[in-house]
Amino acid sequence: MKYSDLISITEQFGAPVYVYDSEKITSQYKRLTNAFKGVGNLRLNYAAKALSNISILRLMNSLGSGLDTVSIQEVKLGLMAGFAPESIIYTPNGVSLEEIEEAAALGVQINIDNLSVLEQFGSKHPDVPVCIRINPHVMAGGNSNISVGHIDSKFGISIHQIPHLLRIVELTKMNINGIHMHTGSDILDIDVFLYASEILFETAKNFKNLQFIDFGSGFKVPYKTGDIETNIEELGKKLTKRFNDFCADYGKELTLAFEPGKFLVSEAGYFLAKVNVVKQTTSTVFASVDSGFNHLIRPMLYGAQHQIVNISNPSGRERYYSVVGYICETDTFGNNRRINEIQEGDILAFKNAGAYCFTMASNYNSRYRPAEVLWHEGSAHLIRERETFDDIIKNQVDLKDLFIQKHSQVVVK
């Protein structure tokens, strides 16, 4: 997309606004499928939690993607977006047995990550195919906040609990059709990921009726110029060979599954915000935008660095700015960043805003969540309307009459 296109979108739909480029999403999907073209059966299950707008889900479905979900609500969104139940995998954490049963009744693939629920579900529904999420105790990501394969993680069944797991499967006679792992986001070292994969292969040998092995995802994308990223092509070459060799030894061609989220949508997203105030202090120049961590919390929550560009003055002289928001908290998007000279009214673009950005937005300070726009084949399409005050109050119950009555009684006395 051109910066002029982004400016036009703010003129048409206002700011702040999220914009997603369908061409970039499509190219990332093709890049990943090409990297694993040597696998007979490949399934990419898009991680809905990264960006769950129904129009994005429909785009993924049109590309041939499956869907990775973590809640019954995401399952229902996927079905509404046209995904077949069998192309949806449901991988919750810490939910009730009742929610898992509800998902199973919808016909989606169940993925269970703890022994207690595995035993309960297997005892009641031994004929329902179940995938098991294993914790390999390998942290392939670079940030402990988003790495979920380490030994203290709440996710997955520990590899040290495999004997217990096998006893449950034997007693319940349940149908285990898949093995799954997820080491975390921002995979930096392919060899570490491949090491975790070997643990998954060893675990898979315990089950004779598998249909797929799911290696999770967490592929790192570049967040700034010169930033490192997961070498998908190298991973594809190495893991494809190892997977095909395993299938030959296993005696059956299995499906290799991934659940990419950030890799597919992160770089496709832009968050556009208008500068309200340029404030000079004795040591800092602040650019305050009409947004805050209610719209984009990743810099404050994870220390994520989103490149910030002044698309209203892309060729202007660079100065140092601290970009901050309008929330009554410390909501700093970037400290002392080199950005082309900013004036009040300029539009700043936050890059890599496609994954875990809008989906983590809130109404803190009673602010409205922004609009979302899909840029598709050269045109802008509104895919979520900007919230209004009616949206803020529509689910609230106003006890006005109750408190007026109590006040009146006090006055009478």
**pLDDT-wise least confident of 13-22, 82-91, 222-231, 302-311:** 222-231
Question: Do both 296 and 183 map to the same domain?
Answer: no
Query: Would you state the pLDDT for residue 226?
Result: 73
Q: What is the CATH number of the domain that holds 345?
A: 2.40.37.10
Spatial distance between the Cα atoms of 366 and 246, rounded to a whole number of angstroms = 54
Average pLDDT of 196-213?
Answer: 94
Query: Would you state the pLDDT for residue 271?
Result: 98
Evaluate if residue 411 carries a pLDDT over 70. no
Integer CA distances (angstroms), 237 to 38, 42, 318, in order:
8, 14, 42
Integer CA distances (angstroms), 70 to 130, 134, 156, 341, in order:
15, 16, 13, 43
Query: Would you state the pLDDT for residue 407?
Result: 58
Query: Would you state the pLDDT for residue 177?
Result: 97
Question: Do both 161 and 214 map to the same domain?
Answer: yes
Question: Do both 159 and 45 map to the same domain?
Answer: yes
- State how beta strands 130-135 and 157-158 pair: parallel
Average pLDDT of 392-402?
Answer: 92
Q: Which of 131, 247, 328, 357 is catalytic?
A: 328
Query: Would you state the pLDDT for residue 321?
Result: 97
Average pLDDT, the chain: 92
Query: Would you state the pLDDT for residue 145?
Result: 44
Evaluate if residue 408 carries a pLDDT over 70. no
Per the omega criterion (within 30 degrees of 0), is the bond before 16 cis?
Answer: yes
User: Is residue 1 in some structural domain?
Assistant: no
Question: Do both 371 and 276 map to the same domain?
Answer: yes
Q: What is the CATH number of the domain that holds 64?
A: 3.20.20.10
pLDDT digits (tens, 9 = 90+) for 232-252: 999 999 999 999 999 999 999
Evaluate if residue 70 carries a pLDDT over 60. yes
pLDDT digits (tens, 9 = 90+) for 76-123: 999 999 999 999 999 999 999 999 999 999 999 999 999 999 999 999
Question: Do both 257 and 300 map to the same domain?
Answer: no
**pLDDT-wise least confident of 217-221, 269-273, 343-347, 382-386:** 217-221
Question: Do both 230 and 365 map to the same domain?
Answer: no
Structure-token pair, residue 4: 């002029």
328 an active-site residue?
A: yes
Query: Would you state the pLDDT for residue 148?
Result: 44
User: Is residue 10 in some structural domain?
Assistant: no
Question: Do both 173 and 247 map to the same domain?
Answer: yes
Query: Would you state the pLDDT for residue 225?
Result: 74
Question: Do both 162 and 85 map to the same domain?
Answer: yes
Query: Any idea which residue has 């597919």 for tokens?
Result: 264
Average pLDDT of 193-214?
Answer: 94
Q: pLDDT grade, residue 139 (50/70/90)?
A: low
Evaluate if residue 308 carries a pLDDT over 70. yes
User: Is residue 180 in some structural domain?
Assistant: yes
Query: Would you state the pLDDT for residue 223?
Result: 79
User: Is residue 17 in some structural domain?
Assistant: no
Query: Would you state the pLDDT for residue 147?
Result: 44
Question: Do both 367 and 236 map to the same domain?
Answer: no
Query: Would you state the pLDDT for residue 220?
Result: 82
Q: ∠ CA 82-86-88 to the nearest 5 degrees? A: 65
pLDDT digits (tens, 9 = 90+) for 311-325: 999 999 999 999 999
Evaluate if residue 188 carries a pLDDT over 70. no
Range of the domain at 293: 269-385
pLDDT digits (tens, 9 = 90+) for 348-359: 999 999 999 999
User: Is residue 402 in some structural domain?
Assistant: no
Residues with Cβ within 8 Å of residue 59, at least 6 apart in sequence: 22, 25, 26, 374
Question: Do both 241 and 281 map to the same domain?
Answer: no
8 Å CB contact between 225 and 181: no
Number of domains comprising the chain: 2
User: Is residue 44 in some structural domain?
Assistant: yes
pTM: 0.92
